[in-house]
Amino acid sequence: MKRKTMGAAFYSFMLSLFYQEIPIAAYTLTQSQSIIDGQTLISKGATFELGFFSPSNSKDRYLGIWYKQVSVQTLVWVANRDSPLNDTSGALKIGSIGNIVILNSTQSVIWSSNMSNAVENPIVELLDSGNLVLRDVKDGDYKSYLWQSFDYPGDTLLPGMKLGWNLKTGRNTYMSSWRNSDDPSQGDYTLAMDLTKYPELVIRNGSSKYYRSGPWNGLQFSGAPDLASNRIFKYEIVHNADEVYYIYHVIDQSVTLRIVLTQTSTEGRLQHLIWVNDAQIWRVVTSIPKDRCDDYAPCGAYSTCEAMSQPFCQCLKGFKPKSPQAWNATDWSQGCERKTPTNCSQGEGFLKFSGVKVPDTTGTWVNMSMDLEECRVICLRNCSCVAYTNADISNGGSGCVTWFMDLTDIRNMDEDGAGQDLYVRMAASELVSETKSGTKKHVVVIVSSTVVAGIIVLGLGSWCIWSIWKKRSLKGDHGKDDLELPIFDLATVKSATDNFAEANKLGEGGFGPVYKHKNLVKLLGFCMQGEEKMLVYEYMPNKSLDSFIFGLFLIRHIGYMSPEYAVDGHFSVKSDVFSFGVLLLEIISGKRNRGFFHPDHELNLLGHGWKLWSEDRSMELVDESMDNSCLAQEILRYIHIGLLCVQKGADQRPTMSSVVLMLSSETVVLPKPLPPGFYFERSTPIKDNLSYSNKESYVSYDSTISLVEGR
């Protein structure tokens, strides 16, 4: 009996060792070694770890790489994503000819690096970049890899990974989403470099285009300002005879950053995520597509999309809806057509559209040695050419791109301060009409300017005459009893305030300091002498109103401040929109954003409202006292508008004129709101929520995390 008990205990002990992940000593693997399920390979700097794993709700086993120092297991690469093991018998080895292989319980190969050439002395190494590499020990160049996992990404793009084409071998390196969070097999969405004459990044849902970044124009992707370099990471496009690829690097190596292509039942998203060590979460920095205009060609051909306009689809100048009936029914998919067809006749030319995401580059012709004028000439001579632009807009512009197919997927990028100029071919009559319109406007501007200038001159002259007369009148009438307010001379005011002593200073507003005097509150009189202009009030024992509405305003009212102003000090017309949205949600809920408390979470009022809206529970936000005094449909619309106003990015919020339109018209279609700024109320302060030293570089990205995140 005792022997059986000891045997069972020994078996349990060995079983526990078997299932515990035991890291092997080295970060390399030779041909005589193997990694079995339960063992892991750790990179030299303990940044990444390789081993077998199972997704949260699956029993299948996969070989993958994850972050070693991140508390939440986050996979960045899976080897056998389409060939899972059904038990824990898997092993990673180097095969007889040097291939990396995964074997199952019957020693059958279920996955291989699939190299055709034999390697004499192969060695596998897990680098601190997250790259699993195979090289020959005899090769003195440690960066000469025979095979690397970076050439075969899954749903994650790490810093240093190339996304694009090797033109010599024809290999296309692209991202593909997981099927779902429990199934790493290839999903429906892919992100790849579209290999046209003018390359761009394209997300596809199956074979259909889902999102297009616009081509690289020397500064950024013309339709994706969120992918531009910043203080945290920098981007680069390489386009030469051997390769065409996109790559990014982290400037501060202490930052943990990844790009993930996610998939849900309804959509795909490309997300930039950064690890916030204090909060122990992945925070979304950017998410693409960000709005309906990021969808591929939502407005059809020869039209432009602007997310904050109503309607958001507009035909280009010189074009009209192809189907007015469908267009008026908000079906813009058929696009627009020319009002006057072009026939390559004399007088045709081009109309300039500024600040746009240039059209789909399929069917383009590119010449990098031409300038813009040469590009115009060559396009004008070719009757099939419908548009042209500079290939590179940096350093004054260079290169030539011409289009020979319908212009689709154009977006107005003015709201993002991005985009570039596009020159679209027009019939002579359309150009004449545009010229006449421009001439009329020019004449109106000249006439208006002349009239305004004349009025200003007359006004200044009248003001000067009045000022001289007034000054003389004041001197003559000084001290007269018929004035409504007495005039004090400067000496009297100096004496009353002890020569403007700091001890008598009550406060200071936008027009100057306020000094204590025994006679304040009521306006007693004024003093005007030279440049000195003062009002004299009765004394206020409870201090002036400035102590209540100024000074500590930013502290007392931080709940109304827009993220860009609170973080970077940037103020815009959209800052007031944010404040209005906060106020609107406060009125509806009967609660203040600042100091809001909810027992079930740590979100502030904005986050609470967003949470309820995303869960279709918006009516729970409404103040109980309003239940019987409002229509549910109206209040839901107001909540929707309030959430649109408090979106994180200034470019995402509507203008106040758009808000007025939304409030006054129930027919205006409201876009889906993105997450609000300053989502958390009681979380760790922004400046402490970073996993790296240069905290100031990241604060502008501390905001909502309610979007669907990668694992």
How would you classify residue 551: left for phi > 0, otherwise alpha for psi between -120 and 50, otherwise beta? left
Name which of 306-310, 387-391, 441-445 the model is least confident about: 441-445
pLDDT, tens digit, for every residue of 566-612? 666 667 778 888 889 998 999 888 888 877 777 778 788 898 998 89
Q: Hey, what long-range contacts does 506-515 have (CB within 8 A, 24 or more apart)?
A: 506/540, 506/543, 506/544, 506/546, 507/543, 507/544, 507/546, 507/547, 507/550, 507/551, 508/546, 509/546, 509/550, 514/544, 514/546
Residue 314 has pLDDT above 90, yes or no: yes
Residue 213 has pLDDT above 50, yes or no: yes
> 123, 99 in Cβ contact below 8 A?
no
Residue 261 has pLDDT above 90, yes or no: yes
pLDDT of residue 690: 37
Residue 460 has pLDDT above 90, yes or no: no
* More confident: 652 or 459: 652
pLDDT of residue 708: 42
Q: Hey, what long-range contacts does 683-687 have (CB within 8 A, 24 or more apart)?
A: 683/279, 683/602, 684/278, 684/279, 686/567
> 553, 559 in Cβ contact below 8 A?
no
Residue 252 has what DSSP assignment?
S
Phi, psi (5° rounding) for residue 352? -90, 130
The Cα 594–Cα 575 span in angstroms is: 17
For residue 149, name the pLDDT band (cuts at 50, 70, 90): very high
Q: Among all chains, which residue has been given the structure tokens 């526990």?
A: 16
Kind plus residue range of the DSSP H or E element containing 281: strand 281-288
Q: What is the DSSP string of 354-400?
A: EEEEPPP-TTEEEETT--HHHHHHHHHH-TT--EEE-SB-GGG-B-E
The Cα 702–Cα 55 span in angstroms is: 29
Rounded to whole angstroms, what are the CA distances from 587 to 118, 608, 640?
73, 14, 14
pLDDT of residue 550: 40
* More confident: 300 or 444: 300
pLDDT of residue 442: 55
Q: Stretch 539-553: mean pLDDT, rounded?
A: 50
* More confident: 432 or 541: 432
Helix (H, G, I), strand (E, B) or coil at 641: helix
pLDDT of residue 61: 98
Peptide linkage before 486 cis (omega within 30 of 0): no
Residue 445 has pLDDT above 50, yes or no: yes
The Cα 115–Cα 133 span in angstroms is: 13
How would you classify residue 521: left for phi > 0, otherwise alpha for psi between -120 and 50, otherwise beta? left
pLDDT of residue 493: 74
Q: Stretch 23-52: mean pLDDT, rounded?
A: 90
* More confident: 259 or 458: 259
The Cα 443–Cα 183 span in angstroms is: 66
The Cα 47–Cα 131 span in angstroms is: 11
Residue 486 has pLDDT above 70, yes or no: no
Q: Among all chains, which residue has been given the structure tokens 């030279």?
A: 530
pLDDT of residue 452: 72
Is residue 345 classed exposed, middle or buried when 0-12, 13-18 and 19+ CB atoms within 10 A define those classes? exposed
pLDDT, tens digit, for every residue of 82-104? 999 999 999 999 998 999 999 99
Report the chain's mean pLDDT, rounded to a whole number: 81
- The candidate with the shortest Cα–Cα distance to 61, out of 84, 38, 28, 93, is 84
Q: Stretch 249-260: mean pLDDT, rounded?
A: 91
For residue 253, name the pLDDT band (cuts at 50, 70, 90): confident
The Cα 593–Cα 609 span in angstroms is: 10
The Cα 323–Cα 332 span in angstroms is: 9
The Cα 519–Cα 541 span in angstroms is: 11
What is the C-alpha radius of gyration for the chain, rounded to an integer number of angstroms? Answer: 34
Rounded to whole angstroms, what are the CA distances from 484 to 474, 479, 481, 490, 524?
13, 11, 8, 19, 10
pLDDT of residue 434: 57
Sign of CA dihedral 34, 37, 42, 43: positive
| Residue 153 CB partners (closer than 8 Å, separation 6+) | 77, 161, 163, 173, 174, 175
pLDDT of residue 662: 83
| Residue 495 CB partners (closer than 8 Å, separation 6+) | none
Residue 224 has pLDDT above 80, yes or no: yes
Residue 18 has pLDDT above 70, yes or no: no
Name the amino acid, one letter, at 256.
T
Name which of 203-212, 344-353, 485-494, 536-545 the model is least confident about: 536-545
> 639, 669 in Cβ contact below 8 A?
no
The Cα 48–Cα 273 span in angstroms is: 17
pLDDT, tens digit, for every residue of 470-483? 665 555 554 444 44
Q: What is the 3-state secondary structure (H, E, C) of 137-152?
A: CCCCCCCCCCEEHHHC
The Cα 298–Cα 76 span in angstroms is: 33
For residue 412, name the pLDDT band (cuts at 50, 70, 90): very high
Domains of the chain plus CATH, in order, are 19-211+228-267 (2.90.10.10), 294-426 (no CATH), 490-543 (3.30.200.20), 554-680 (1.10.510.10)
pLDDT of residue 542: 61
Residue 25 has pLDDT above 90, yes or no: no
Q: Among all chains, which residue has been given the structure tokens 């689809």?
A: 313
Residue 364 has pLDDT above 90, yes or no: yes
Structure tokens at 656: 């106040």
- The candidate with the shortest Cα–Cα distance to 351, out of 269, 418, 435, is 435
For residue 516, name the pLDDT band (cuts at 50, 70, 90): low
Q: Stretch 446-469: mean pLDDT, rounded?
A: 71
Structure tokens at 557: 């009212």
The Cα 641–Cα 633 span in angstroms is: 13
pLDDT of residue 347: 87
Residue 317 has pLDDT above 90, yes or no: yes
Q: 250 has which bridge partners? A: 233
Peptide linkage before 225 cis (omega within 30 of 0): no
- Residues of the chain with pLDDT > 70: what percent? 77
Residue 35 has pLDDT above 90, yes or no: yes
Angle at CA of residue 297, ends 296 and 299, nearest 5°: 140
> 485, 534 in Cβ contact below 8 A?
no
> 159, 248 in Cβ contact below 8 A?
yes
pLDDT of residue 594: 76
Query: Of 186-190, 411-415, 604-608, 655-659, which one has max mean pLDDT?
Result: 186-190
pLDDT of residue 390: 96
* More confident: 574 or 288: 288
- Residues of the chain with pLDDT > 90: what percent? 45
Name which of 169-173, 335-339, 353-357, 534-538 the model is least confident about: 534-538
Kind plus residue range of the DSSP H or E element containing 456: helix 428-477
pLDDT of residue 198: 86
pLDDT of residue 627: 63
For residue 375, name the pLDDT band (cuts at 50, 70, 90): very high
Residue 676 has what DSSP assignment?
B
Rounded to whole angstroms, what are the CA distances from 331 to 162, 304, 323?
39, 14, 9
pLDDT of residue 120: 87
Residue 699 has pLDDT above 50, yes or no: no
Structure tokens at 92: 């990673």
Name which of 285-294, 424-433, 466-475, 487-496 the model is least confident about: 466-475
Query: Of 8-17, 302-311, 541-550, which one has max mean pLDDT?
Result: 302-311
pLDDT of residue 90: 96
